[in-house]
Structure 1
């Protein structure tokens, strides 16, 4: 008998304006890449001001993507290994963030395991696969992406539980974020 546990995600955009922060919940169904997410954030931007995209999988991990105008997005993920098991997490875990070249993942795309050349299959003894080595447990990304907004590196790395509410509290926009939850 399998448990019927449903994975709960929350995603929101926080756009900074001259009057403060404006929040909107967002659907990620049409977002397949980081570029799609950055475009969605830019659409929410007012005068190319900062937009933060929050993604959270309940009790597992959270991610923050910061988009400032046309600059490349800055990313922080609280637990890369947990996020890698999530379709939304995979959006954030780009090759660049993981420090690998795009072609590093070619073997997994074509499902080559070394047995095509007559090599014996590896024993299932918990040896790490190339994918496991590429996605470290724990935080990954730019842990200073919120420093100028009042959430320093040390504070961000220490967050767990309801991290997005704690970030919103530090930004002074808890009510705005909670209104879209």
Structure 2
């Protein structure tokens, strides 16, 4: 699958934007280190990741603080090797050490309850709102306020992630709000 990743570093003169490779990035800590290398004086750094217009993520790194993450569609990201970088246990609501066997058992129990109550049908599985087989919920996940400081409200970010939204267009819209759309487009 094709992907696009860029690092946007805030500077005195605006935003510096550069495309980046994620081949050597295996964890969120690796991604945060990559972002910090682009930082000037503890200024915020954003990392955009987009995979084939299926999902996007914005990771914000402020100095040595823990990264803040927003993912447009958790289930779509879970089907991607790059999604593994941003889909932390905390983000998807799992406790560290939760085994997939336990999760599979829970999902099976919930399915049985739904079937017994008559509230679920075979067609519900194709609604696009079901969780990924690994238990990652479909739809937006994470910090919806990650870009509020830059004038993008939680409501706007969620609208960019909604049904029918195109992840590449969402990142372009975010970059436009930041004042660096032309630079981002140039590195795409």
Which TM-score band applies after superposition, normalised by the shorter structure? 0.7 to 0.9
Cα RMSD after superposing both structures: 2.2
Aligned mates of 1:107, 1:178 — CA distance in 2: 43
2:25 equivalent in structure 1: 31
Give CA-to-partner distance per residue, 1:123-169, whole Å, 9 cap, x none. xx97xxx9636310000000110011011101101112111101000
1:42 equivalent in structure 2: 36
**Corresponding residue pairs, total:** 160
CA spacing shift, 1:106–1:137, aligned 2, 3 Å: closer
TM-score normalised by the chain length of structure 1: 0.82
SS in 1 for 2:133: helix
Aligned mates of 1:11, 1:95 — CA distance in 2: 22
CA spacing shift, 1:137–1:131, aligned 2, 3 Å: closer
SS in 1 for 2:99: helix
* 1:172 and 2:173 are equivalent in the alignment: no
1:77 equivalent in structure 2: 71
SS in 1 for 2:83: helix
1:142 equivalent in structure 2: 143
Gaps of at least 5 residues in structure 1 are: 1-6, 115-124
TM-score normalised by the chain length of structure 2: 0.79
Gaps of at least 5 residues in structure 2 are: 106-121, 126-130
Say if 2:100 and 2:134, in contact at 8 Å, map to a contact too.
no
Give CA-to-partner distance per residue, 1:72-95, whole Å, 9 cap, x none. 000000000000000001110000
* 1:9 and 2:3 are equivalent in the alignment: yes
For 1:96, which of 66, 90, 94 is the aligned residue?
90
SS in 2 for 1:28: coil
Say if 2:3 and 2:51, in contact at 8 Å, map to a contact too.
yes
2:50 equivalent in structure 1: 56
